[in-house]
Structure 1
C-alpha cells in the first residue's frame, strides 16, 4: 500500500534521526542493473528488529522496488501487523515441521510472488543472533526458492547479501538478559510503545552494506543442479560477512576482550586498535571489508559516549585504564563476534607462534592449512585464508619476526604483547575444537555417539568457562560443537557406524599433539579433571 509506505517513510525518517547519528548505505551499484533483469532476493544478516525497516527505508530512498518481507508470525500483532502488511510484510510460522499442508500452501504462495517478479527479503539465519555471530543457515526458504526456480520463472533469481553494522544495537539489554539465561520476551504492542523510550538515547551510526549478488543460475551451473541447499546457505552467509564494516565498537571489543579481565591501559588499547585496523586495511584487496577511518582517540571517545566502556583514572600517573563492567563485557562479545572473522586468519597465525620460542614457517603453514578451513566454516568466511599474505602483513606490522625460515615472537615487549592479544581473539574457537577432539580421543574410535559427545563437550566447556572466568556466552553453545562435528564428518575425519558411534582416523591424534602447544594449560588441566588429556598420549 503506497499510502502506508509514505507514512512509514516519514515515521522512519524521524526515528532514524532521533536515535542514529547517521544511516549510510554502501554497495547499491553492485546490483542496480541486475534489478532490471532479475528477481532479487535480499538475504541480510539478522541482528535486530530494525533490520528489515532499515533495508526497506534505504531501498525506497534509492528508488528500488521494495521487497515483500518474510516475517515471523510473532510480529503479527494487533494493528501493528496490519501496518506491516501494508509495508510489504507477509507472515509465516516459525516452524513448518509436521504440517505438510501449510508447507505446500506457503511454498505455492512464495512461487506466485516470484512469478510476478516481486523482490523478496528473508533471513536465512531464521532468527536474530544473540551472540553477534551469523547463525547456521535455515534451509526451508532456500529449498522453496530452489523449487520455484526449477518449476520455471519469467525472470532469473539473484540473491543480494546484506550486512548491517550497528555501533550499538537497540535490543542490547534484552540480548544481555537472554545471554544470561532468561527466556526470550514475547513481542507485544505494549513492548512496542515502551521501545519509544529509545528515542532519548543515541545509538551511534549504522551502515547497510550490500554484498556481491549471487545469481542462482550461475551458482547451480558451477555446483550442479543437484547442489545442496546447505552449500547455497553457506555461500550467502559468506557473502554477508564479506561485506563487513569494522566500526569503533568492533575495534574496541576485539582489543579489550582479549585481556583476561577485560581492562587495558589506554596506550596499549590504542596500539591494539591500530594493529587490528592496519591488518584489515592491508588485506583490503583480498576481501570486501571496510574499517572506520576515524582517529584512535575518536574511536575510544565514541565508544565511551555510547556507554560501552568505562574509564578509571589511577593516582600513579601511569595512564588511564579502560574496560567494561561484567555485564557490559558480556554484551561486548556481541560486537567482537560481528567482526571476528575479519582478523581470524592473522589471529590463528598468532596462536601458532606466540607460545613458542621459534617455529619453522613450514610447520605453521601446515597446521594453518588444516585448522583454518574449520574456523572459516564456523565464522562464514570465504577464501582460503591467504597464509603468505597475512604472514607478510604481520611481519610488516612488527608483531612477528622471521629468521632463517623460523617464525618467532618479537623481542620488543609491546609488539610481543600485541601478538598475544591478537592470538586471544580466536583462541576460544581453537579451544572448543581441542575440547571436541580431546574427548573423542579419550573415548577412543567408536566409543561415543554424537549426542553423548555433545553433552561431554558442553559440560567441559562450561566447567572451563566457570573456572577461568571466560565471559563468552557462545563458548559452550551446542550448535557450534554440532557444526564442528558436521564439518569433521563432511571432511571424512569422522564417520558414523550403524549404531551411531563416531569413528576417527589418525588425523585426530595428530592435531591434538600439535594443539598442545597452542591451547592454554588451564584447558588441559580442565580436561585432566574429567579423565585425562588425550593430547598426552
Structure 2
C-alpha cells in the first residue's frame, strides 16, 4: 500500500529573493490575522556561509534530477526543505541550488511573530546532532506545534535528495570507499572527501512539495474527512473557521505531540529512503558471494539433486555445473565502469545524434519508488540498451540490470557490459533443466532484491522496423518469481525507441535477403566505430503506459504467492500461462501506442507510397501536412507523439541526412528517395505504419472501387482486421472497431479525401483534384500487407488441405516473397521478413481458419480460405492478383527442391552455431 503521505501534491509559492521580504498585516480579528513573515539572512555564521558557499560553488557542480517544483508568486505558504541528515555542506549546496533556480531560499532566517515562528534557516534536518526527546527533529517539532496552534498557518515541506556519487554499496565488502555516497551517513571526513573527489559527480533532486497540515491531519485522524485545502488565498477565510474548530479538538497532549512528530519524521525518512533507493538501486553483494548464495539456495539445491538423479552424476558434479552456469550469467556491477560509460556515451551521443528526445519519463520516476520496475523496450539496434540505460541514469534512477544474449559476451566488450549491469543468458537452453533453474533463481533474486530489470521481449533486433512477435520466456520467469514471493508490486514499462538513422541498416537488409548473420565481436564493434562521423539525426525514447501485474492477476484470477517459494520448476497453470500471453501482447500494443512519428519516418511513409518514390515538392509538403493533421486530429493513442517540425523543414532535414534529394526542375522541384536508400527508408516507415494503417486500408477500398457502401467497407475491414492487428499489434478492440472505423471515415471526409454521396455510399473525389492524388498515396501502405496475405492464401489453396505444415508454409512464402520482391516490388525487404508470414499463419490458426494436426503438424482447412482471399479483389488490382497467383503456383518437384535447399541451409546454419 502507498501511504497517503506519498500522494503527489503540487503547490504554488512565491519566488523569494535574498533580500528581506515583508507582508503587510491585514486589519483582521486575532483569529483571522494573516502572518507578518520576514525572511532574513541569519546574522549567525553569515561570513562562514558566504565563504563556504563560494568555495563549494567552485568545487561542486551538481546535476539536477527530475522536475523542479512549481511555485506561484501570490502564495503566502512558508517553504522548508527537508534533508535526512545534518550537514553543513549539504545545507550550503541546497542554498546555492535555490538561488540558481529561483526557488524560495534555504539559508534564511524565517520570522513570523503572529504564528510564533522564529527559525534561523528554512531547512529541516530529520537527524540533527542537537536533537532531544528521542532524536526528534527540533525544527520539525516546532513547525508541527505551530501548525496545530494556528489554523491559518500554511507550511509546505520540500523533501530533497543529495547524492555524492551514485554507487550502491557492497553488502559484504570489507572496505567501503570513502568518497562514494552509498547508504552510510557521511561523517565530516567523508564529506570533505566527497567535496574534493565527487564534487563533479553530485546529484540533487527536489521532490514534490507536501502540505504539513495535510500530513498532520492524515496522521491524527485518518477516519475524519479532511476539509479541502486550497492554495488560493481567496478561499482561506472560508476554511479558517472549520480548521480552527477541528484544530482545537485535535491538539494533542505533550506526549501525543511527540508521537505525532515521530510518526511524521518516520514517514519523511521512509519517503527519502525510497527515493534514494530508486536512484542508487539496492545494496549489492560482490559477485562471488552472490553466486554462492544462489547455488546454495533451497531452490537450486533441489534442482541440483534432480539433475544428479536424472543424469547419474554426483551432487558435487551437478553443483559445479550449476555454479558454472551462474558464473556465465551473473553480472559484476562496477561503479567505475558506469562512470566510464557515462563519460564515453555522453561523448558518443554528441558525435552521433543531434539530440536525444525523451517523452513521458516522469511516470517512470513516480513508479520507481514503490514498484519493481521491468523495462520492456522494443529492439531496433545494439545502441538500444546503452541508450536506455544512459537516459535512465541521467534522469536520476537506478540503472536496470539488462538481460543480454551471450553472443555479446566476447573478449573486451563482454566484461565491460557485465560491469555495466548486463547479465548474459544463452540464446537457447530448451531442455536444459538445471540451466533454466539457475536463471529462474537469479531472476527471482534480482526481483526480490528490488532490482530494476530490462529485457527485450522480441528476443532479437527487428530487421524490418516492425515489432517482432513477443517471446514469453523472460516474461514468464518474471511472473513465476512474483507468484513465488510477492515483494514490491511488479510494473512493466513498455518503451518505444525510434531512430532517424541506424548503424546496422545495411546489415539488416542484407540479412533479410539471405546473407548470414554476422556474429558480435570486437572487430565488429570497431567496424561500427568507423561510422561515428556520419550524421544520425535525433533518437527518440518514449515511455509507454505502465502495465501493473496485479491488474492482470485480478483479471485472470491468479492468486498471489500461489507457487512454492523454494522451487523453480513448478509449472504455471493454464490461467497463469494465458495471463503471460496477454501481458506480452499488451506490452507490444503499448510500445506502439508510445510511437514517435518523427520527421524521417513520416517522410519515408510519404515518399515510399508514391510512384517511383518521388513527388513534386509542393505535393510532398501537402502530403506530409495531411498525415500530421490526421494524426493530430484523431490520435492513434494518447501517448503517441507527432513531430511538430513543419513539412518544409522535414524535407530539408531528410536532405541533410542524405536520405532524400531535391531534383531541380523548371516546372517545380522534385523530391525523391536518394540512391539505394529506399530499402532503408522502408525500415523507418514500418516504425509508424500502425499509426496510419486503418486510414490506408479505408483509402485503398474507396480508391480501388470508386464508390462503396459504408457498411460493405466496414464488413471487409472487420474480416481482415485481426490479421493486421496480429502483424502490427494494433490496440483497437474488436467490439469497438465499428466506432473506430466511423471516426476515421469522418476524419477522411473532413479532409476531403473521400466524399459521401448519401444513403451510406462513399466515393472518391474528382480524379483531377489534389485530394484524389492524396487519397492514392494514402492507400498504398496497406497494399504490401494484403499482397503477402493473398500470396499465402493462394499457396494454401493451390496446394490443398492436408499437404503442408506450418513451417513449410512459412518457408515457402518466405522464398516466394523474396522472388516477388526482386521481380516486381523494387527489392523492398518487407517480403523477405519470415516473421511476417509466421504472424499471418498463426493468426489463421488462432481464428480457426486453419487447424493443425497435433501429431503430424499438417494444416487442415476448408473453403473459408478462399472466402478471405476473395476480399483481395476490393483492394488489389487484377494484374497484381494474377502475379501473386503465378508466383504462388508451385508443382511438387519445385516444392521438394525448395524444401531440400531450405533444410540444407538450416543444417549449415546450425553447424556454424555449434
Partner of 2:228: none
Partner of 1:5: 338
Aligned counterpart for 1:332 among listed residues 669, 672, 681: 681
Shift of 1:119: 0.2
- 2:352–2:536 Cα contact (<8 Å) kept: yes
Matched, 1:54 2:387: yes
8 Å contact 1:460–1:526 — kept in the other structure?
Answer: no
Output the CA distance in 1 between the equivalents of 2:796 and 2:504: 38
Q: Is 1:430 paired with 2:786?
A: yes
Aligned to 1:281: 632
Aligned to 2:176: none
- 1:408 matches 2:759: no
Cα RMSD for the two superposed structures: 2.1
Task: Assess if the C-alpha contact under 8 Å between 2:704 and 2:876 holds in 1.
Answer: no
CA distance in 2, matches of 1:475, 1:285: 26
Q: Tell me by how many angstroms 1:324 deviates.
A: 2.3
Q: Is the 8 A contact 1:24 1:206 kept in 2?
A: yes
Partners in 2 of 1:505 and 1:224 — Cα distance? 36
Distance apart, 1:178 and its partner CA: 2.6
Aligned length, in residue pairs: 531
TM-fit CA distance, 1:34: 1.7
Say whether 1:203 aligns with 2:536. yes
For CA contacts below 8 A with separation 6 or more, give which structure has more relative contact order: 1
Q: Which deviates more from structure 2 when the two are superposed, residues 491-500 or residues 430-439?
A: 491-500
* Paired residues of 1:460 and 1:527 also in contact (CA < 8 A): no
CA distance in 1, matches of 2:510, 2:662: 24
| 618, 643, 662: which one aligns with 1:311 | 662
Q: Distance in 2 between matches of 1:478 and 1:78?
A: 32
Deviation at 1:445, TM superposition (A): 4.1
Q: Secondary structure at the match of 1:275?
A: helix
Give yes or no for contact 1:464–1:523 (8 Å, CA) kept in 2: no
Consecutive unaligned residues in structure 2, runs of 5 or more: 1-333, 559-574, 891-914
For residues 512 and 886 of structure 2, the distance between their equivalents in structure 1, rounded to whole angstroms, comes to: 27
* In structure 2, C-alpha distance between the alignment counterparts of 1:217 and 1:392, rounded to whole Å: 38
Q: 2:871 aligns with which of 514, 527, 533?
A: 514
How far apart are the structure 2 equivalents of 1:80 and 1:462? 35
How far apart are the structure 2 equivalents of 1:194 and 1:482?
Answer: 33
Specify the alignment match of 1:133 in structure 2.
Answer: 466
| Aligned twin of 2:102 | none
In structure 2, the partner of 1:383 is: 732
Closer/same/farther in 2, CA of residues 73 and 319 from structure 1, 3 Å limit: same
Give the corresponding residue for 2:588.
237
From the superposition, tell whether residues 90 and 458 of structure 1 become closer, same or farther in structure 2 (CA, over 3 Å): closer
SS of the equivalent of 2:677 reads helix
State which of 846, 852, 855 in structure 2 corresponds to 1:496: 852
Change (3 A) 1:531 1:494: closer
- For residues 863 and 513 of structure 2, the distance between their equivalents in structure 1, rounded to whole angstroms, comes to 39
Q: Distance in 1 between matches of 2:447 and 2:469?
A: 25
Q: Secondary structure at the match of 2:731?
A: coil
Q: 2 CA distance for matches of 1:478 and 1:164?
A: 23
Aligned equivalents of 1:479, 1:197: Cα separation in 2 = 31
2:593–2:637 CA contact under 8 A, matched in 1: no
Residue 311 of structure 1, CA deviation = 2.2
Maintained 8 Å contact 2:545/2:639: no
Distance 1:202 1:460 in 2: 36
In 1, the alpha carbon distance for the partners of 2:406 and 2:428 equals: 10
Match of 2:716 in 1: 367
SS in 2 for 1:31: helix
Identify the residue that residue 82 of structure 1 maps to in structure 2: 415
TM-score (norm 1): 0.94
Does residue 160 in structure 1 map to residue 493 in structure 2? yes
Taking the aligned partners of 2:801 and 2:615, their CA distance within structure 1 comes to 44
- Alpha-carbon spacing, 1:476–1:194, altered in 2? closer, same or farther (3 Å): closer
Output the TM-score relative to the length of structure 2: 0.56
Unaligned runs of 5+ in 1: none
- Which position in structure 1 is the counterpart of 2:549? 216
| Residue among 250, 253, 265 paired with 2:616 | 265
Counterpart selection for 1:484 from 840, 856, 859: 840
The equivalent residue for 1:474 is 830
SS of residue paired to 1:32 = helix
Distance 1:4 1:454, change over 3 A: closer
1:321–1:46 Cα change, 3 Å: same
